[in-house]
Amino acid sequence: MATFVLVPGACHGGWCYERLDEQLRQHGHRVHALTLTGFGDHARPMSGTVNLDTNIQDVVDVLTAESIEDAVLVGHSYGGMVITGAADRVPQRVDSLVYLDAFVPEDGDSCWTLASGEQREWYLSVGETGYAVPPLPFFDPRATAHPLASCLQRIRLTGDLGRFRRRDYVYATLWDGTSPFAPTYERLREDPRWTVHAVEGRHNLMRDAPDELLKILLDAAPEPDVQM
């Protein structure tokens, strides 16, 4: 039995993992599908003060409070920034990482520095608040505005991802135009330390390719201890 901690991307909450959550539990695994501070029911009035560190701490708090020591951290899109930071802060609580069409930052990176020009235009489309990035039209109706500071803050890392048992990258192949994650995919597919998957689906893989994604997550889980 593994413990999966599922971290959503921009504007989304733990509800975007509903189907995967249920399927993973049916396979006997523990699952924590998180809604991060600044999103959903937590969206206001805190959005103006929420940054990347806030969301990294959200994950660290769950790992600590639940005494999790073998987490499979799964991050979609922006969630890749969050799981990287959380794994760096408490590596002793993390077994492996799975990035779902997501950012994979190095020390000093931010969503802004890694994003495409089109994504940067979206980040700057804040309304009168100056800090709330609106959901895109194709997002789920439950999506809420995303705190701009979390896109701009640079991540600070003290180690590298090589210390974890396994790292998977899942690339969505169906984008209108060039995927902003294409450079990450091309870099990691040449790295033997990564397990890289190209999945026929749009950015929201949890909705577009749930069955294939389930197989990838089950394969990424640590082998159970066998008591003789």
CA dist., res. 197 & res. 101, Å (int): 10
| DSSP per-residue letters across 74-131 | EEETTHHHHHHHHHHH-GGGEEEEEEES-----TT--HHHHS-HHHHHHHT---TTSS
Check if the beta carbon of residue 92 is closer than 8 Å to that of residue 69. yes
Check if the beta carbon of residue 86 is closer than 8 Å to that of residue 52. no
Instruction: Give the active site residue among 47, 77, 96, 150.
Output: 77
User: Catalytic residue at 77?
Assistant: yes
Q: Which residues are marked as active site?
A: 77
